[in-house]
Structure 1
Amino acid sequence: MSKVENEEKGGGRSYFRVIDPETRYPSVTTVVGMAPKPFLMRWYANMAADLALDSIDYLQRMSDRDREGARKWVAGAAWRYTNDRGKIGSAAHDLFERMIRGQQIRRQSMDLEPYRANFRNFLDTVKPVLVRAEDVAWSDTHQYAGSFDAWLRLRVILNDDGTWTLDPDGLDPRSVWVNVIADWKTSKSVWASVALQMAAYAFADRIISPDGTEEPMPLFDGAVVLHITPEGWTLYPVYANEMRTAFAAFLDLRRTLDWDREGQRKALGKALAKSSREALTGTERRG
C-alpha cells in the first residue's frame, strides 16, 4: 500500500508513488494531449484578434508606450481565458464531488450557483449511485496514471443496437444496472477525444484510493461524460466497443509521448560528413 502524488512540470503532469518518487508515469491528460488539435490554432488566433479589435484604442496607446508588452498582452488572450475558466472548473469539480457524496450544499457564489443548480438537477434526474470518486487509475502495464471523477452505477435498458436508455426509477422490468467511469466537463464544448481519456481510466490495471489502498480495476460496461455549463447539462455515453477502439488509439499516443520525450533525441546520429570551404575551385582561387 502506497499513496500516490502528482506533480505538474513543463512536460505535463506526472504521477508517482510516495515510496518510489523516481518512477513517474505521465498523466492520462498529458498522453491525450499528444493528439492533433488543429482547431486550437484557429481558436488561439481568433481570441487574439477579438481582443485586439475590442480594445483597439487602448491597444494603440499601450503599443506606443510598450510595443513588446502590447504584443504579449494580445498573444496571451487565449491562455488567460483558459486559466480563468480552469479556476472555475476546478471549483465546480470540488462542488460536484461533495454533492455526489451526499453533502447538502447551500447556494453558491454567482459564478458557481448555476453549476450547483444544474448538477443537482442531473442527480435528481439520472439518479446515479456513487461507487467511488476522485481515485487514481494506475497502469504499470502501459505506464500511465490519472485521477477520474467518479465510478457510477446507472439503471438503463439495453437496446438491441447496443445503446442504452436511462431508466432511473427501474420502471421497466428489462432495466439493469451498469458500471460506468464518469467525467465532468465544464468546458464550452465536449470533443470526441474525451473517449480516449475515459478508455484509459477504464482499462488501467488498478484503482488506488487516497490512503494508498488499491484493488484491481473492474470491468466497466462503458463510460459517461457529463457536460455541464451555466446553461444546463447533457450526459453523453461512451459504449464499450467505442472504448476499446479509443484505448487502442490512446496506446498509440502513449508511444508518441515516449518518442516526443526520448526517442527523437536519439533519432539522428552524429553527422557523417559536412561541407567544407577549405577546398576552393580554380575560379574561386583566381577571384
Structure 2
Amino acid sequence: MPKIKYPGVTSVIGVGPKPFLPPWYARMTAELAIDSLAFVQQMAERDRQGAVDYLKGAARRYTQARADVGSQAHDLFERMIRGEQIGRVHPDLVPYRERFAEFLAAVNPRLERAEDVAWSDTHQYAGSFDAVLTVWLDEDGTPTPDRSGVPHLLMADWKTSRDTYPDVALQMSAYAHADRIIAPDGTTAPVPEFDGAAVLHITPESWALKPVRIDDDVFAFFLALRRVFDWEREESKTVLKPAIAASAGRLVTGTQRRAR
C-alpha cells in the first residue's frame, strides 16, 4: 500500500500573508548592527561578505533559538501534565516549569491526549497537536480546580512566543475538524466533539489560558489557505507555457562579422 503524505497544518498556514515580517526582519538586523557596531566593523574590514551574512542572519538565529527553547518547554509541559516527577532542568527552563506548575494548580486539567496526530483525508492535511484536555468550568467560564464545575473537552495548544497571534485559531480549528486522531502506536480514533479550544500562553514571567474560536467560519479560512498551498506548491508550476512567438535574435551585420 503506497504511503500517503499530506502537508502539515503549520505549512498550510505558512502560505498566508505575513505583512509584519519584513519590518521585523529589518528591525532585528538594525538592532544587531547597533548593539555590536564595533564587532561588525572589525568583521567587515576582514570579510565584508561575512559581515553582511552575519547581519542578514539575525532574525533567523533568533527564531531558531526561540524554537529550540519552545521545543524543550513543550517536552517539559507534556511530562509535567502526565504527572512525571521532574528533576533538574536547564536554567532557561526553570521559569517555564514554575509557570506551568502554577497553571496546573489553578486549572487542574485532565489530560486526554498529547502530541498525537490529527489526520484529514477529506481535506488532505495532517498535524501534531499539543493536547486534548478536560477542564471544569463554572457558569462564568472560569476554571474550578476542585473539578466542581461542568467538564469541557478542549483542544489545547502551548505557546511560548512573546505573544499569541490569530493564526493559532486556524491551526486549532484544523486539528478539531480533522477526520481522525492517530496515536504513536498507529491506532486511530475519530476526532471527538470539542466544547471549545484554548491556548496556554506561557512566558518566563506569566501564564494565561485564552479561549480560541475554532468554529466552521474559522475552519473555512484554513481551507482557503489549503487551496492556496496547492496553488503555491503545484498548480502555479503548470500555468506558464513555452512561448509560441518571440522576438528575433539581435541582428549581426556583415560588417560586424568581418570585424571578428
TM norm structure 2: 0.92
**1:130 CA displacement:** 0.7
Q: Is the 8 A contact 1:223 1:237 kept in 2?
A: yes
DSSP 3-state at the match of 2:130? strand
**1:273 CA displacement:** 1.8
Equivalent residue, structure 2, for 1:221: 195
Equivalent residue, structure 1, for 2:216: 244
Equivalent position to 2:145, from 168, 171, 180:
168
Equivalent position to 2:167, from 190, 193, 200:
193
Q: Distance in 2 between matches of 1:142 and 1:181?
A: 19
Equivalent position to 1:138, from 108, 119, 144:
119
One-letter amino acid of the counterpart of residue 67, structure 2: G
Deviation per residue, 1:118-138 (Å, 9 max, x gap): 000000001111111111000
- Mark the runs of 5 or more structure 1 residues left unpaired by the alignment: 1-18, 281-287
One-letter amino acid of the counterpart of residue 42, structure 2: R
One-letter amino acid of the counterpart of residue 142, structure 2: T
**1:277 CA displacement:** 5.0
Equivalent position to 2:76, from 89, 95, 115:
95
DSSP 3-state at the match of 1:225? strand
One-letter amino acid of the counterpart of residue 58, structure 1: F
Equivalent residue, structure 1, for 2:106: 125
TM norm structure 1: 0.84
- Mark the runs of 5 or more structure 2 residues left unpaired by the alignment: 253-260
DSSP 3-state at the match of 1:35? coil
Deviation per residue, 1:45-93 (Å, 9 max, x gap): 1000000011111111111111111000000001001111111111111
Equivalent residue, structure 1, for 2:234: 262
Segments ≥4 residues shifted beyond 4 Å? 277-280
**1:188 CA displacement:** 1.1
Deviation per residue, 1:159-198 (Å, 9 max, x gap): 5xxxx33233345xxx311111101001111101100000
Instruction: Say whether 1:34 aligns with 2:15.
Output: yes
Equivalent residue, structure 1, for 2:29: 48
Equivalent residue, structure 1, for 2:89: 108
One-letter amino acid of the counterpart of residue 125, structure 2: Y
Q: Distance in 1 between matches of 2:248 and 2:215?
A: 56
Q: Distance in 1 between matches of 2:17 and 2:219?
A: 16
Q: Distance in 2 between matches of 1:245 and 1:231?
A: 34
Map residues 150-169 of structure 1 onto 2, 5 A cutoff: 150-158=131-139, 164-169=141-146
Equivalent residue, structure 2, for 1:84: 65
Change (3 A) 1:68 1:279: closer
Q: Distance in 1 between matches of 2:52 and 2:106?
A: 48
Equivalent position to 1:68, from 44, 49, 58:
49
Q: Is the 8 A contact 1:137 1:204 kept in 2?
A: yes
Q: Between Structure 1 and Structure 2, which shows a larger proportion of strand residues?
A: 1
Q: Distance in 2 between matches of 1:214 and 1:118?
A: 33
Deviation per residue, 1:221-273 (Å, 9 max, x gap): 1111001110010111014xx53222100001111010001111111222232
Q: Distance in 2 between matches of 1:117 and 1:91?
A: 14
Q: Distance in 1 between matches of 2:136 and 2:106?
A: 12
Equivalent residue, structure 1, for 2:256: none
Equivalent residue, structure 1, for 2:158: 184
Q: Is the 8 A contact 2:135 2:153 kept in 1?
A: yes
DSSP 3-state at the match of 1:111? helix
**1:158 CA displacement:** 4.8
Q: Distance in 2 between matches of 1:148 and 1:277?
A: 57
Q: Is the 8 A contact 2:105 2:145 kept in 1?
A: no
Percent identity between the aligned chains?
Answer: 56
